[in-house]
Each structure stands twice: as C-alpha cells, then as structure tokens.
Amino acid sequence: MLLRSRSYVARLYIKKGLSENEMAKQLNVNRAAVRNALKNTGLFLENRENARKAGRTRFGHDYVDGESVQNLEEQKTLRTMRQMRATGKTFREISGKLNEDLIPTKNGGIWQANTVRKILLCL
C-alpha cells in the first residue's frame, strides 16, 4: 500500500537517497515491487540520470551532471600512492603515510592497507 503513494516513495528514493534494495528491506518487499512502484509513480525515469551517482565512484573521479570527471585532489593522492608503491613501499606503509598526512579517503575516513591495494590494483 505504501508503494502506491508517490510522495512516500519519493521521500525514500530521492530525499533519503535509498537504493531499491534498501527500500525493499525497509518495506519488507522484494526489489521488483520497489522497481515497479518507481516506474508506476514516474520516479524511476525522473531519477535515471542520478542512478550512476548512487553507486560507488572510483577514487580519483567524481560525477558531475551524470558525467565522470577527474577529482584533482584525489588524482594527486593517486600519483603519490603510485610513486610510493614504485619505490617498494607496502600497502600498509602507504596507508600509514596518507593517514599521517591527514589525506582523507573518498568518504572522509582513514586509510586502510586493503583500500590502497584495491585502488592501486584496479587502475
């Protein structure tokens, strides 16, 4: 019943920024029901351009108007990480140096060796 209310669905999907999966869990329904509700209320198409923003954005890039653009500060951090790795530093040493220099992660957290590894190996 709640999925029929456009204002309720809009509040969850757009204002709170919940994904289809998160909405399904909260409402105790399957994801297909949420997707149908979004389509029936017209919200799915309205928010299509924002769909890529809802997911993870790789380190060194941001989404602006639905397009991937380089984040200059993060690109600088990437260069530092590559240079340190090229000189034989471990992922733990790199993460320690980034934390020591107070360089934030994409989400504003602290660096972990595994995060550095994933970023450098996915480039």
Closest by Cα among 87, 68, 80 to 116: 80
Same domain membership, residue 50 and residue 66: no
Determine the Cα–Cα distance for residues 84 and 13; give it in Å rounded to an integer. Answer: 41
* Owning domain of residue 103: 61-121
* Local confidence band at 2 (pLDDT 50, 70, 90 cut-offs): low
Whether 11 and 30 share a structural domain: yes
Q: Domains in the chain: how many in total?
A: 2
pLDDT at position 102: 94
pLDDT at 119 over 80: yes
The amino acid at 64: V
Task: Specify whether 76 is located in the same domain as 31.
Answer: no
Whether residues 41 and 81 fall in one domain: no
Burial 1-40 (b: 16+ CB within 10 A, else e): eebeeeeebbebbeeeebebeebbeebeeeeeebeebbee
pLDDT in tens, 74-83: 999 999 999 9
Identify the pLDDT of residue 51. 47
Q: Please state the rounded mean pLDDT for residues 13-26.
A: 77
- Are the C-beta atoms of residues 38 and 8 closer than 8 Å to each other? no
Residue where the block lists tokens 């997707």: 35
Provide mean pLDDT across the span 38-54: 58
Q: Does 114 have pLDDT greater than 80?
A: yes
